[in-house]
């Protein structure tokens, strides 16, 4: 019963095109999970690791209600899985999902669309209660015949078994501007263990620097239902693009780089800045191929205001540093 219901919901997510269709299908998924989970998720098991803050089970469960994010990631992962499983040789696909949370939101709903004999997945989470929740969901939905391993581990240090050749790795443990949560540290660890043919999702995260008026930029504010698609959310017209600070992707971490900081060059500050007084960071994400999250479509792509030029108007240049060795954060240096 529940497997069939989930199949209908996830098919509606994949087929959704308009913002309203995306919202409705993601809300159905959220209601489905909340109907099946009788007990509330703990909100006091947030864990600080070297690389960020792992959300509590309750906080991770709430991510499903960031609707455009949920829909976009499910669409992108479905597209990637189909790319593997369309192989006429009946190839199996091995999946690693790092930071699955209590719902395993980005993989579990897709399983009914694929033959159980062609999927093996390792689901990793640092919170035992989140894994227990997933473990309880599997038989209720009717997915107990799928080859799913639950691993309680820190995804920043987890070693993938040598005999598990990963085809697809997924990790969505993000906050806006890549602050707070351990997305970069987890990506760094998992990607270094993948073959050149394996796919990592998200495929690319881009961080840009711009001078703008933060309060006039589109961003996902209070209620999820207020979100507009990127085409309906026009950026502030006086925004000044400065530079792409960095791009996180598989190639970035495949290079030998042990540095836990990323530093920019110095950038000239404008002397006249009334129309764009804020120094801000903008995030865009390519989930897979043409499936993307634009600025302001999700909490994780909200713009981030670093500092106002009114507070540093005696300085002429600024340099930015992203540090993810502890809790990911941004610093600025003035000249």
**How high is the pLDDT of residue 291?**
97
How far apart are alpha carbons 73 and 293 in whole angstroms? 9
Q: Strands, DSSP E only, in the chain?
A: 47-49, 52-54, 93-98, 119-125, 147-152, 168-170, 199-201, 204-212, 240-249, 261-268, 278-288, 291-293, 304-308, 317-323, 329-334
pLDDT digits (tens, 9 = 90+) for 127-142: 999 999 999 999 999 9
DSSP per-residue codes, 43-82: SS--EEETTEEEPPHHHHHHGGGSHHHHHHHHHHHHHHHH
Does the structure show a pLDDT above 90 at 49?
Answer: no
φ/ψ (deg, to 5) at 178: 60, 30
For helices 19-36 and 67-85, give the axis angle rounded to 10 degrees.
90
How far apart are alpha carbons 24 and 313 in whole angstroms? 46
pLDDT digits (tens, 9 = 90+) for 238-293: 999 999 999 999 887 766 556 788 999 999 999 999 999 999 999 999 999 999 99
**How high is the pLDDT of residue 233?**
63
Instruction: Say which residue, 227 or 254, is predicted with more confidence.
Output: 254
User: pTM of the entire structure?
Assistant: 0.93
pLDDT digits (tens, 9 = 90+) for 141-159: 999 999 999 999 999 999 9
Instruction: For residue 235, name the pLDDT band (cuts at 50, 70, 90).
Output: confident
Does the structure show a pLDDT above 50 at 95?
Answer: yes
């Amino acid at each position: 019963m529940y497997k069939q219901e989930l199949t209908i919901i996830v098919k509606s997510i994949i087929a959704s095109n308009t913002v309203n269709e995306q919202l409705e299908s993601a809300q159905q998924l959220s209601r489905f999970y909340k109907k099946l989970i009788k007990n509330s998720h703990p909100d006091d098991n947030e864990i600080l690791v070297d690389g960020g803050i792992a959300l509590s089970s309750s906080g991770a469960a709430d991510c499903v209600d960031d609707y455009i994010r949920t829909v976009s990631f499910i669409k992108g992962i479905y597209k990637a899985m189909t790319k593997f499983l369309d192989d006429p040789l009946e190839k199996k696909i091995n999946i690693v999902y790092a930071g699955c949370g209590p719902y395993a939101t980005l993989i579990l709903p897709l399983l009914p669309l694929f033959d159980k004999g062609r999927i093996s997945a390792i689901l990793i989470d640092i919170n035992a209660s989140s894994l227990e929740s997933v473990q309880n969901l599997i038989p209720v939905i009717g997915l107990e015949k799928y080859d799913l391993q639950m691993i309680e581990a820190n995804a920043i240090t987890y070693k993938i078994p040598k005999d598990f050749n990963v085809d697809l790795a997924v990790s969505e443990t993000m906050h806006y501007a890549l602050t707070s949560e351990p997305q970069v540290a987890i990506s760094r660890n998992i990607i270094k263990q993948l073959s050149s043919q394996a796919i990592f999702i998200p495929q690319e995260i881009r961080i840009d620097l711009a001078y703008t008026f933060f309060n006039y930029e589109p961003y996902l504010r209070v209620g999820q239902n207020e979100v507009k698609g990127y085409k309906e959310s026009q950026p502030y017209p006086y925004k000044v693009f400065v530079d792409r600070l960095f791009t996180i992707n598989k190639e970035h971490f495949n290079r030998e780089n042990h540095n836990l900081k990323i530093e920019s060059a110095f950038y000239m500050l404008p002397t006249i800045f009334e129309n764009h007084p804020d120094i801000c960071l903008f995030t865009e994400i390519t989930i897979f191929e043409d499936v993307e999250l634009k600025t302001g479509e999700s909490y994780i792509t909200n713009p981030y205001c670093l500092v106002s030029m009114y507070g540093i108007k005696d300085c002429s240049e600024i340099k930015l540093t992203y540090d993810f060795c502890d809790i990911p954060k941004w610093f600025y240096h003035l000249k």
